[in-house]
Amino acid sequence: MSEDRTRSLLELLINVSREVATALDLRTVLQRLLFASIQHVGGERGSIVVMDDAGKPMDATIVYGKQLHEHTTQQLRDTVERGLAGWVVLHRKSTLVSDTSKDDRWLRRADDSVEKSGAKSAICVPLMARERLVGVLTLVHSVPNAFSEEHLELMQAIADQASVAVLNARLYTESQRTARVMTALAEGAAAINTSLEISDVWRRILNHTMQALQVETVALALINHASRELVFEAAAGHNSGNIPGRRIPNGQGLAGMVVTSGQGAVASAESADKHYSEVEKFAGVEMRVIAITPIKSQGRVIGVLEAINPTSGAFDPDALLVMSGLGSLAGTTIQNAQFMDRLQKAHERYHQLFEDSVDPILITDWEGMILEANRHAITLSGYNTQQLHTMSIDQLHEVKWSATGLNFEAFKRDDLCTYESALHCQSGVTIPIEVYARRVEFEETDSVQWTLRDITERKELDALREDMLAMIYHDLRSPLGNIVSSLDMMKDMLPEDEDINSMLTIANHSTARIQRLINSLLDINRFESGKPISDHKAVDPLALIEESIRDVEPSANGRNQQVENKTSAPLPLIWVDRDMVQRVLINLLENAIKFTPLEGHIEIGAQRTDDGFVKFFVRDNGPGIPLADIERVFDKFTRLRGKNKPGGLGIGLAFCRLAVRGHGGQIWAESEVDKGATFYFTLPIAH
31-84 confidence digits (pLDDT tens): 777 787 777 788 888 888 888 877 788 788 888 877 777 766 566 677 777 788
Report the share of the chain in percent with pLDDT over 70: 79
The fraction of the chain above a pLDDT of 90, given in percent, is 12
DSSP label of 164: H
Residue 186 has pLDDT above 80, yes or no: no
Q: How confident is the model over 552-579, as a mean pLDDT? A: 89
Q: What is the pLDDT of residue 183?
A: 63
Query: Which of 173, 318, 314 shows the shortest CA–CA distance to 647?
Result: 173
pLDDT at 116: 66
* Residue 687 reports pLDDT greater than 90: no
**Whole-structure pTM value:** 0.36
DSSP assigned state of 501: H
Question: Is the per-residue pLDDT at 648 higher than 60?
Answer: no
Q: Which helix (DSSP H) or strand (DSSP E) does residue 591 occupy?
A: helix 578-595
Helix (H, G, I), strand (E, B) or coil at 485: helix
Confidence category of residue 227, pLDDT binned at 50, 70, 90: confident
At residue 353, does pLDDT exceed 50? Answer: no
Task: Report, as an integer, the average pLDDT of 452-456.
Answer: 88
Model confidence at 345, in pLDDT bands (50, 70, 90)? low
Strand ranges (E), 254-351: 265-268, 289-297, 300-310
- Selection from 572, 652, 642 nearest residue 618 by Cα: 652
Sequence-ordered list of residues with C-beta below 8 angstroms from that of 196, at least 6 positions apart, any chain: 333, 336, 337, 340, 341, 358
Task: State the pairing for strand pair 613-619/677-684.
Answer: antiparallel
The reported pLDDT for the residue numbered 2 is: 47
Lowest average pLDDT, out of 168-177, 328-337, 431-440, goes to 168-177
Helix locations, 309-420, DSSP H: 319-346, 351-354, 375-381, 385-388, 393-396, 401-404, 409-412
Tell whether the model's pLDDT for residue 563 goes beyond 50.
Answer: yes
Confidence of residue 534 (pLDDT cuts 50, 70, 90): confident
Using DSSP bridges, classify how beta strands 289-297 and 300-310 pair: parallel, antiparallel or unpaired.
antiparallel
> For all residues of the chain together, what is the average pLDDT?
79
Determine the average pLDDT of the residues in 603-610: 93
Q: Given a cut of 60, is residue 354 above it in pLDDT?
A: no
What's the rounded mean pLDDT across residues 478-486? 71
